């Protein structure tokens, strides 16, 4: 069987389905190919969405514990893992099923299978029903995403050793869990398992958690994370994993480790992700891949093969769903001949721990590394009325500012709901806003969002809710 299409999209994740749906809306004949029954990709099936469903539960458990301070006491939570999994899976099924319906409504030809390039205009699709279909396309968008990275020398074939995908299956709650990696995935899953009752140890080989994020923001999260975990070891390596009858025997190496050899019921390896750029015939095209395994593209997301575009995790960091979706839309418009380029000034990042940590634009660390002079204005949530009503004064909002012009180059925040608020900072950066724009924008009171306005007031030395000397 052979199918002809104007646009073939390989991969149905946030970037792939965004591209396919926009192309269909703009009148193109579209074929979308993916191994899942419905679009959604890793984000919806095994990443962003199921993890956030579980993090919501974790936050609820934590808040019921803390309610004792406010005079409200609940009994010990009774956790039904089957119902918890059903809730998580229900969320996933609802969203992916909805995307399946949207694909049908848009008359997108959805093929359930794996695509392989035979040349620059043809795909061979091995369908899940055992048949093979040839797809001849005019243009293609490659959106194959990423998979969990492995640690050389620590790969042992055991159900006790998990990656982020198997950890989200939530088969059980181990008594002791080792999480290797202090990045956002490791910390989010640590939060979930700790709330459900696991004694969690986090190991990070670098000097601090969440490398790349500003240290003053991480410090706030660090304090709360450590209160939830059994141990948090930085500058520490896992030398060996060995399965025994009692669990996974682990050998740790680090100056702060007092017990180098320990037994854990399960181990979660979460050391980042790597792009999926092999196994589907790129060698039969003109597409080029970098030494790090990323597909090389220009500002329109076009590869070295004029018929093939690439988006999402396979074209480089940050590996974020919203970045992939934005790239997908740019790629479609470029294919249609519109004058577009992917040149975002700010791509927001959010760590959905408790508290949440979010940033957009340049960070203070990045500015220092690149020799860019910046000014910084911070508003501590200890002075926020809304944060006080939530009993969560542990937050902070900061602005990274260009001296002279007072243009906002970056925004960072840590605290409850930071992920929902960072969009205002992203918009400010993209629009070239200056500090005065934020200061003069009336924010509702009492809200956490007004900490953005307050940080701007701090910059000028006239914050209502705290005292800072005026700028000279």
CATH number at 97 reads 3.50.50.60
Mean pLDDT (the chain) is 95
At 472 the pLDDT is 56
* Any domain includes 390: yes
* Any domain includes 245: yes
Residue 118 tokens, joined:
């035979």
- In this prediction, residues 392-418 reach a mean pLDDT of 97
CA pair distance 287, 266, nearest whole angstrom: 40
Contact 48, 41 (CB under 8 A): no
Note if 443 is an active site residue. no
* Any domain includes 295: yes
Contact 351, 210 (CB under 8 A): yes
At 1 the pLDDT is 79
At 154 the pLDDT is 83
* Any domain includes 168: yes
Please tell me whether residues 244 and 281 are part of one structural domain.
Answer: no
Per DSSP, the three-state class of 161 is strand
At 229 the pLDDT is 96
pLDDT-based confidence at residue 256 (cuts at 50, 70, 90): confident
Please tell me whether residues 8 and 139 are part of one structural domain.
Answer: yes
**Boundary of a domain, candidates 223, 250, 271:** 271
Please tell me whether residues 266 and 374 are part of one structural domain.
Answer: no
Please tell me whether residues 299 and 228 are part of one structural domain.
Answer: no
Total residue length of the chain: 472
* Total number of domains constituting the chain: 3
Residue 108: pLDDT above 70?
yes
At 454 the pLDDT is 97
At 470 the pLDDT is 60
**Boundary of a domain, candidates 291, 308, 335:** 335
Please tell me whether residues 393 and 253 are part of one structural domain.
Answer: no
Residue 139: pLDDT above 60?
yes
Percent of the chain with pLDDT over 70: 99
Please tell me whether residues 172 and 40 are part of one structural domain.
Answer: no
Rounded to two decimals, the pTM is 0.94
The boundaries of the domain holding residue 355 are: 349-460
Considering the candidates 112, 322, 443, 445, report the single residue annotated as catalytic: 445
Percent of the chain with pLDDT over 90: 93
pLDDT-based confidence at residue 469 (cuts at 50, 70, 90): low
At 150 the pLDDT is 87
Please tell me whether residues 6 and 108 are part of one structural domain.
Answer: yes
Query: What long-range pairs does 258-261 form, CB within 8 A, spacing at least 24?
Result: none
- In this prediction, residues 73-96 reach a mean pLDDT of 95
């Amino acid at each position: 069987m052979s199918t002809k299409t104007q646009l073939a999209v390989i991969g149905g994740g946030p970037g792939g389905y965004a591209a396919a749906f926009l192309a269909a809306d703009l009148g193109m004949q579209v074929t979308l190919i993916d191994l899942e029954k419905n679009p959604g990709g890793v984000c919806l099936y095994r990443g962003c969405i199921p993890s956030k469903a579980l993090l919501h539960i974790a936050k609820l458990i934590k808040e019921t514990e803390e309610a004792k301070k406010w005079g409200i006491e609940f009994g010990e939570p009774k956790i039904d893992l089957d119902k918890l999994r059903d809730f998580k899976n229900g969320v996933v099924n609802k969203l992916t099923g909805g995307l399946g319906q949207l694909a049908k409504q848009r008359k997108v030809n959805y093929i359930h299978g794996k695509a392989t390039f035979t040349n620059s205009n043809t795909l061979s699709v091995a369908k899940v029903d055992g048949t093979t279909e040839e797809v001849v396309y005019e243009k293609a968008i490659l959106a194959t995403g990423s998979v969990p990275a492995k640690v050389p020398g620590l790969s042992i074939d055991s159900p006790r050793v998990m990656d982020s995908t198997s950890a989200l299956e939530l088969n059980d709650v181990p008594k002791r869990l080792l999480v290797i990696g202090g990045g956002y995935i490791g910390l989010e899953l640590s939060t979930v398992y700790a709330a459900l009752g696991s004694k969690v140890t986090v190991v990070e080989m670098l000097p601090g958690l969440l490398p790349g994020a500003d240290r003053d923001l991480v410090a706030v999260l660090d304090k709360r994370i450590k209160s939830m975990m059994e141990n948090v070891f930085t500058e520490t390596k896992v030398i060996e994993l060995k399965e025994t009858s009692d669990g996974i025997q682990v050998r740790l190496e680090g100056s702060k480790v007092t017990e180098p050899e320990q037994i854990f019921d399960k181990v979660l390896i979460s050391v980042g992700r790597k792009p999926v750029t092999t196994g589907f015939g790129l060698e039969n095209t003109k597409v080029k891949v970098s030494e790090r395994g990323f597909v090389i593209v220009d500002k329109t997301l076009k590869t070295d093969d004029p018929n093939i575009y690439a988006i999402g995790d396979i074209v480089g960091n940050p590996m974020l769903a919203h970045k992939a979706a934005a790239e997908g839309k740019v790629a479609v418009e470029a294919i249609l001949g519109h004058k577009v380029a992917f040149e975002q000034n700010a791509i927001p990042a959010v760590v959905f721990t408790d508290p949440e940590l979010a940033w957009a634009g340049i960070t203070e660390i990045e500015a220092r590394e690149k020799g860019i002079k910046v000014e910084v204005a911070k508003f501590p949530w200890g002075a926020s009325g809304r944060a006080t009503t939530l009993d969560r004064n542990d937050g902070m909002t900061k602005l990274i500012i260009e001296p002279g012009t007072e243009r906002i180059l970056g925004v960072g925040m840590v605290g409850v709901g930071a992920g929902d608020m960072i969009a205002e900072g992203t918009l400010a950066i993209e629009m070239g806003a200056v500090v005065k724009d934020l200061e003069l924008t009336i924010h509702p009171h009492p809200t956490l969002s007004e900490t953005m306005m307050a940080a701007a007031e701090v910059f000028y030395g006239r914050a209502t809710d705290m005292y800072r000397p005026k700028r000279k």
